[in-house]
Amino acid sequence: MSKKTKTVAEPVEAPEIKLDLGCGRNKVAGFTGVDLYSPDADVKHDLFKFPYPWKSGTVSEIHASHFLEHIPQKLRWPFFEECWRILKIGGIMRMSVPSWKSERAYGDMTHEWPPVTTFALFYLNKDWREVNKLTYGQYAIKCNFDNQSGPAGISQTFTTRLHEAQVFACTHYLESYQDMWIVLTKKEM
């Protein structure tokens, strides 16, 4: 008489989901490109319409290069809430935007007002909102991110200068850098 043995199936890991939101014609290798208009997009989706077609907590990384400045002001916080929803805890969102100190922020007529600033990123952090008593009404944002940001595309006038001179220029001079990089890390609520 043969003995029946039960086999336990090994858990199947879901493939990692990495999204390039507003990918345009420059989709990042290894990412799923999401764009309504680009012929190079893997997923055609209007990124101004929520919810996005991904389940909560399933995306490990989001890339959005020169997309945020095209989002209308009233949709920016809902955009961050939706990205927070689909990201895993500890998931990363990397973005590039034109510096508000550069003509790049104002010269493209498809950019929305206001330009993106580093100060705006504080509102995405729950602890900061609580300390500043901004937890009600339009400030009742449903996301929680740690953030880092800095200048990119420093003007050639300053690239050969000492680091201290570059920091001074980026802090005090217009046109000292063209773009800003942003990294948001999803935290629990």
Sign of CA pseudo-dihedral 96, 100, 102, 103:
positive
Band of pLDDT at residue 15, cut at 50, 70 and 90: confident
Q: Which domains does the chain have, with CATH numbers?
A: 17-153+179-186 (3.40.50.150)
Q: What is the C-alpha to C-alpha distance for residues 158 and 176, in angstroms, rounded to an integer?
A: 8
Beta bridge partners of 148: 183
| Angle value at C-alpha 129, between 83 and 78, nearest 5 degrees | 30
Band of pLDDT at residue 3, cut at 50, 70 and 90: low
Q: Is the pTM value of this prediction over 0.75?
A: yes
Strands annotated E in the chain: 17-21, 32-34, 59-65, 87-98, 145-154, 177-186
Q: What local confidence, expressed as pLDDT, does residue 80 receive?
A: 98
Band of pLDDT at residue 14, cut at 50, 70 and 90: confident
Which residue, chain included where needed, has tokens 């990918």?
A: 23
Q: What is the pLDDT of residues 60-95, one digit of tens each?
A: 999 999 999 999 999 999 999 999 999 999 999 999
Q: What local confidence, expressed as pLDDT, does residue 178 receive?
A: 93
